[in-house]
Amino acid sequence: MEHKGEVLFNKDQIKEMVAEMGHILTEEYRDKNLMVISLLKGAFVFTADLIREIKLPLVVEFMTTSSYIDESTKSTGFVNILQDVNRDIRAFDILIVDDIIDSGYTMKHVYDVLSSRGPKSIKTCTLLDKPSRRQTEFECDYVGAKIDDYFIVGYGLNLGDYYRNEDHIFVYKE
Ligand code: IMP
Ligand code: MG
């Protein structure tokens, strides 16, 4: 496809990064009651791999959030929860999982909404982070890698809902 730019992370690099995160999370959540809450759609590929690297009992729930309009590469700043978690989270240690943090609006909003429901604890995890783009105070607890200000696709990340099935992560070229 003509829009495929530089490869930022190939399949093996992603695998290694996810395994390392899973290893850390396995230690951190050993005596906890882990519920992974994955933010659809972008985080579904990462979540599927990450949970298999966490060698503990856990449950997975999904939330669908949206802050982009159609084929835009910028957040509107308004985060919509299109599909919520329909169960009581008070008995759980929540780990919110997203594919990438940009402005921080999505994670911040989901964190605030879920915190207000009184879970035992709540932390955040992202495969990638673009700290230079932050519009909020938000700091993520577990980050696979920090990257510069590129719009990237592949491994669940999309543009206009395409490229999610690519097994490497690359820069989208206009
Ligand atoms: P934020 O709310 O601005 O932090 O944006 C986070 C959401 O926007 C993520 O859940 C992604 O789905 C999407 N997003 C942010 N940056 C990128 C990117 O470079 N490529 C694809 N999706 C992105
Ligand atoms: Mg998203």
Give DSSP secondary structure letters for the chain: -TTEEEEEE-HHHHHHHHHHHHHHHHHHTTTS-EEEEEEETTTHHHHHHHHTT--S--EEEEEEEE---TT-SS--S--EEEE---S--TTSEEEEEEEEESSSHHHHHHHHHHHTT--SEEEEEEEEE-GGG--SS---SEEEEE--S--EEBTTB-BTTBSTT-SSEEEEP-
Ligand nearest to the CA of 150: 1
pLDDT in tens, 83-117: 999 999 999 999 999 999 999 999 999 999 999 99
Q: What is the pTM of this model?
A: 0.96
> What is the reported pLDDT for 4?
85
Ligand 1 atom with least separation from CA of 109:
2
Domains and CATH numbers, the chain: 11-150 (3.40.50.2020)
154 Cβ closer than 6 Å to some ligand 1 atom: no
Ligand 1 atom with least separation from CA of 158:
21
Q: Please state, in angstroms and as integers, the Cα–Cα distance from residue 62 to each residue in 31, 41, 43, following that order.
A: 23, 9, 9
Identify the band that residue 69 occupies on the pLDDT scale cut at 50, 70 and 90: low
* Active-site annotation holds for 102: yes
Beta bridge pairs of residue 90: none
100 Cβ closer than 6 Å to some ligand 1 atom: yes
Is the pLDDT confidence value at 70 over 80?
no
102 Cβ closer than 6 Å to some ligand 1 atom: yes
> What is the reported pLDDT for 77?
79
Percent of the chain with pLDDT over 90: 87
